[in-house]
Amino acid sequence: MADNSLTPPLPHNTPASPPPPNSTVPSPPPDTTAPSLSIRQAQDLVDGWIRTTGVRYFSELTNMAILTEEVGEVARLMSRLYGDQSFKDSDKGKELSDELADVLWVVLCIANQTGIDLTTALEKNFTKKSIRDATRHQHLTPTSNSSPEASAPPSPTGNPPLPAQ
């Protein structure tokens, strides 16, 4: 069994003010001059960092807990940026890109320590989804939702309708 622990993700070091809740922030044009980073290169960079700076990987189970924590941080920020929750002082300086990179970091660590080549896994996943979902979403329009709850009238209490049983 390999030495399996992860050094915590890199610290948040780029504070910025988030956009107001429920606002639409235009995306900057893609930077075509920036070098691209393949998934394999990212896995190798993370592995090199862990082995030199981080010393060792955390156990797979610890990394799963860290991944859950990082996804929770993404969810918290998403609920403030695009949902109905308002920002708290502790949310200031958080950037969605940094939180998503933290999630990716831990996913790369888990892949490395379990011997998964994420490029191959992602290619297989695209094939699986392309076959399985070839016509699955064709009836949807950009503004429609096929769930029964989407067509239900609003609840008098303001709560979302309960799913049909």
What does CATH list as the number for 1-8+37-121?
A: 1.10.287.1080
| Residue 144, token pair as written in the block | 């429609």
Residue 5: pLDDT band (50, 70, 90) is: very low
Nearest to 93 by CA among 18, 9, 3: 18
- Give me the pLDDT at residue 12, please: 32
Give residues with Cβ within 8 angstroms of 96, minimum separation 6: 74, 77, 78, 81
8 Å CB contact between 49 and 109: no
Q: Is the dihedral of CA 45, 48, 52, 58 positive or negative?
A: positive
Residue 7: the pLDDT is: 37
Q: Which pTM does this prediction carry?
A: 0.64
pLDDT tens readout for residues 88-130: 998 889 999 999 999 999 999 999 999 999 999 999 999 999 9
- What confidence tens digit (pLDDT) does each residue in 23-81 have? 454 555 666 677 799 999 999 999 999 999 998 999 999 999 999 999 999 999 999 99
> Which residue carries 């950037």 as its tokens?
95
pLDDT of res. 158:
54
